[in-house]
Amino acid sequence: MCHYANELAFEVRDKDHAFSEFIGAVSFPTAEIMLPGAAREGAFPIVSKHGKHHGELNLRVQVHYSPIPEKGEKMLNFPSNI
């Protein structure tokens, strides 16, 4: 993340030819994942905009936090696959 936020949210949508319909979302408070080396992993229930679970629908996510180096620290460069 490059901006401050209270939560990290993943929106799930059903994309049709004409439009996309919001199915639900999975979100985490950023305080739970903003520690160096912190991770959040698993299958989480997709919640509708009314706060209800969509039965058996789950979103499998894996989130790892890596802080941006402080000024003067060197970032690792990885070769591109071009």
**How much is the pLDDT for 11?**
93
pLDDT in tens, the chain (82 residues): 456 778 888 999 998 888 889 999 998 888 877 777 778 888 999 998 888 887 888 999 888 777 777 766 555 555 555 5
Asked whether the whole model's pTM tops 0.75, one would answer no
**How much is the pLDDT for 76?**
56
Nearest 10 degrees: CA dihedral of 66, 69, 74, 79? 30
Structure tokens at 33: 């994942």
